[in-house]
Amino acid sequence: MNPQTSRRRFLAGLLATCSALTFGAAHAEETTPPQEYYEIRIYRCPTAEKQQAVVNYVESALLPALNRQKIDRVGIFTPTGENADHSVFVLIPYRTLDLLGSLNAALAADSAYQAAAADYFKMDPKDPAYTRIESRLMKAFSGIPVLEQPAYSKEKKPRLFELRTYESANAHKAQLKVEMFNKGEIDIMREVQLGPVFFGETLISNDVPNLTYMLSAENEEDHQTHWKGFGPHPQWQILKKMDRYKDTVSKIISTKLVPTAGSQL
């Protein structure tokens, strides 16, 4: 084979390889879903009666209106356990920030929503259903870009959720903790069946910097069993001892939640 023929074949092979790599990268971009955004609204209610009024409003008015805006997989929860109060937690996934930005105008123009929420809006302003609404806006981690709903949740079986917030001393430490989850911690949680639902880097709240995520199980006993498998996991033992991830979490807040009858999670 003469040198020119060899050179032509080499260049043809190189071009073919480059084309394959380019196609593979493009294909990966097409198949990897964009990272979602999550809003958690916490209605702080003073009594069980007011809590039920908020649940009724969310289930009968807000949830159908969100669905009409193509916003689905909405979670509606109440706290459970020894320190449970009368709050109502609502998890709203947004595929884009435009959906969030246009939501209030969409609700104002939605006659079905306005009719369904009429009695709720007529409650005495001096005796409202909630004291305030706390809210946090998050962006999904790259390691779990869209919400993952377990089968028992889709089937509406009895289930438990745990909402966990990890505060950090500064923004750099918070970013490192996000990295730690993306580079192994989420995979370990999946492996030990902790049932990750979402992981969100908090963009706006009154307690940044932090991240917030949600786990799930069919019941408290199973959930505790799954947690017991996490601590001794060999990969976790390696991750937690890495100097890079030292002191990434300064405070952990955990809230156990149960879904209401109308929750989509």
pLDDT tens column, 24-40? 544 545 577 899 999 99
In a domain, 265, yes or no: no
b/e sequence 102-133, b meaning 16+ C-beta within 10 Å:
ebeeebeebeebeebbeebeeeeeeeebbeee
pTM: 0.86
User: CB-hemisphere CA count at 13 Å for 172?
Assistant: 3
- Please write the tens of the pLDDT for every residue from 38-88: 999 999 999 999 999 999 999 999 999 999 999 999 999 999 998 899 999
- Please write the tens of the pLDDT for every residue from 128-137: 999 999 999 9
Domain count, the chain: 1
SS (H, E, C) 14-75: HHHHHHHHHHHHHHHHHHCCCCCEEEEEEECCCCHHHHHHHHHHHHHHHHHHHHHCCCCCCE
In a domain, 200, yes or no: yes
In a domain, 14, yes or no: no
In a domain, 9, yes or no: no
Residue 108's domain is classified under what CATH number?
3.30.70.100
In a domain, 24, yes or no: no
C-alpha span between 101 and 257 (Å, rounded):
28
CB 150 within 8 A of CB 194: no
Sign of the CA dihedral 82, 87, 92, 98? negative
pLDDT band at 14; cut points 50, 70, 90: very low
Res 238: pLDDT: 95
Q: Which residues pair with 77 in a beta bridge?
A: 89, 259
In a domain, 30, yes or no: no
Q: Which residues pair with 254 in a beta bridge?
A: 164
C-alpha span between 142 and 108 (Å, rounded):
34
Burial of 258 (0-12, 13-18, 19+ CB in 10 A): middle
Considering only 10-19, 77-86, 161-170, 193-202, which range has the smallest mean pLDDT? 10-19
Tokens linked to 36: 């979602």
Res 6: pLDDT: 47
C-alpha span between 163 and 196 (Å, rounded):
10
Tokens linked to 72: 């689905």
Angle at 50 between CA 93 and CA 63, to 5 degrees: 25
Angle at 198 between CA 193 and CA 204, to 5 degrees: 150
pLDDT band at 259; cut points 50, 70, 90: very high
C-alpha span between 243 and 238 (Å, rounded):
10
SS3 at position 161: strand
In a domain, 236, yes or no: yes
In a domain, 52, yes or no: yes
**Containing domain of residue 120, as a range?**
37-259
C-alpha span between 207 and 229 (Å, rounded):
30
